[in-house]
Chain A
């Protein structure tokens, strides 16, 4: 155990700043993915086990677009658009066919899609690690905050993710689109009876959730290595986020993502072997004492 290392880290401002930023970027990536999972679950009442593959698709799309265009901002926006479209196609062509049936069928469709995506990535981009490197827009000297070193890209990631979170929250709570989506989450057939084409909204929500995963992939591309299968481990963590935060709650996902990000960042200093264990313990405690999650609606 390196608990004393953790105590020392809390004692020095530079270590604290470094770990805080790293916790925030992990948390923000998790938030973007988990908010998509939770949004799709809240409205369509299905768990998208293939959400990690959309994140992977976002990262690879951003990598290729960056090679072609040379502009990181263009490639990130392009990745979000591409993955959003992929998500709509996935929903319309595959998932919509198994809405009525049991969880088993939905699970198998997602499983099949994950397998196909992983193999397609191997075919298109090769099985080995890819790395994007720091985009040229962000090859700037790092900021120094209280002696801690913060690369400008990290700041960009955090600000972008937070801005997306706020916009998402505003869209869900303040617009007509959000109102219909919230209504469809509670009673889809009734919304349909009011003359609103609910299927269109389902596809839009799925596309929106997918685009969020695409943005997460694009933001992760410069700081993570790209491999086929990269989506699965982050999918598990985003599930833990949605359980802790409460299914269907964007605010809960935000809070839980930051908690988990901080656990990862400081845990890697203090108890590297038990980081996963601690995250699962938190999840188990939430499930035992507040099964609906911190901010969740009650689930049966």
Chain B
């Protein structure tokens, strides 16, 4: 119980910090950066529920990011939905999509899973590109997304939008934290470490994986919705395979074994991206080389490295204390 209150306390502090940034430093560039980081952060964090906690390496997670953005945008453009209703609609639609894709994919072994999720993502991408009359094709959803007021909140105002997104982001983070610290979260880790043993212990592995897949897709769709609100549109590159590849790298960069690792990875990658854009138009080349350096050189994310270092230091401390105690006994 104390752990839960502590997590909620941290979440509250995080929210206050996010809001303070907007109040203290009103530069739009900072706020824009944070909004992007929150949207992509949710994508990476939710993907880590699959990769880091369940051992399901999905290469198509951006499809749910895109489905959230497109479903939300299309619902709002139809004029029949209020913002909260469209929000729920987009999540529900993504959940249904994830249920179908997941039902086909989660039974398969690692490698099949990775490229089938990729293949389904490209199916969605081709659908978005091909169905021009509905999705606007490669131009993206045109004409902006209308944002009527609800409950006195006006999302057309940048500050109110920022507050809304921050709250949604923090709620999602709390939900994910709850999941990974719950018995369900430990079941996920058990499946990751030894699927057969989990099955012997009576865990319905396929069902647990499927539930995790759907939950993670829903949270990714919230990321997509936030981005759609922020850029007032949805674009096919949300569903392109590079978005999935980037989010996988965000996890690897920040660290998959520490809860906030993917979020840190998102921030680092976005900073890196913003810096390289200034110097060169060949951002992909730079990103590719950075990935190779991390994967072949460091082999671990930043927070994983730090966590490992702390662990070894504590071990050493324990050892030296024991040695000191032994020495005391001996003398």
Contact = CB atoms under 8 A, between A and B. Distances in A.
A261 B111 CA distance: 25
Contact of B57 (A94, A107, A118): A107
Contact of B285 (A45, A107, A115, A277): A115
A283 B119 contact: yes
A273 interface: yes
Contacts of B118: 49, 236, 239
A102 B251 CA distance: 14
A230 interface: no
Given A233-B122, A280-B123, A243 B116 contact: yes
B263 to A, nearest CB: 18
Given A109-B292, A239-B119, A277-B123, A104 B285 contact: no
B115 A239 contact: yes
A300 B108 CA distance: 7
Interface string A86-113: 0000000010011001111101110111
Contacts of B284: 115-116, 118-119
A24 B295 CA distance: 40
A123 interface: yes
Given A115-B291, A119-B282, A119-B284, 16 more contacts: A102-B57, A103-B57, A109-B291, A109-B295, A109-B296, A114-B288, A116-B284, A116-B289, A119-B285, A120-B285, A239-B115, A239-B118, A276-B126, A276-B130, A288-B104, A299-B112
A49 to B, nearest CB: 7
B130 A123 contact: no
16 contacts: A41-B111, A45-B111, A46-B111, A104-B57, A107-B114, A108-B248, A109-B295, A112-B292, A114-B288, A115-B291, A119-B282, A123-B282, A233-B122, A273-B130, A277-B127, A280-B123
Interface of A: 41, 45-47, 49, 94, 97-98, 101-105, 107-109, 111-116, 118-120, 122-123, 232-233, 236, 239-240, 243, 247, 273, 276-277, 280, 283-284, 287-288, 291, 299-300
A111 B291 contact: yes
B188 to A, nearest CB: 16
Interface in B278-331: 282, 284-285, 287-289, 291-292, 294-296, 299
Interface string B54-65: 000101000000
B111 A103 contact: yes
Contacts of B59: 49, 107
Nearest to B105: A287
Contacts of B291: 108-109, 111-112, 115
* Chain A interface helix/strand/loop/mixed: helix
B296 A104 contact: no
B288 A104 contact: no
Contacts of A122: 282
Nearest 4 CB-CB pairings of A with B: A115-B288, A116-B288, A112-B291, A119-B285
A231 to B, nearest CB: 12
Nearest to A113: B288
Contacts of B122: 233, 236
Interface string B94-132: 000000000010011111101110111011001100110
A300 B104 CA distance: 15
B37 interface: no
Nearest to B291: A112
A47 to B, nearest CB: 5
In this complex, which of A94, A103, A277, A280 has the most chain B Cβ atoms within 10 angstroms of its Cβ? A103
Contacts of A280: 119-120, 123
B146 interface: no
B269 interface: no
Contact of B108 (A46, A47, A49, A287): A287
B241 interface: yes
B127 to A, nearest CB: 7
Contacts of A94: 292, 296
B205 interface: no
A277 B126 CA distance: 10
A162 B297 CA distance: 42
In this complex, which of A97, A119, A273 has the most chain B Cβ atoms within 10 angstroms of its Cβ? A119
B110 A103 contact: yes
A107 B248 contact: yes
A278 to B, nearest CB: 11
Contacts of B217: none
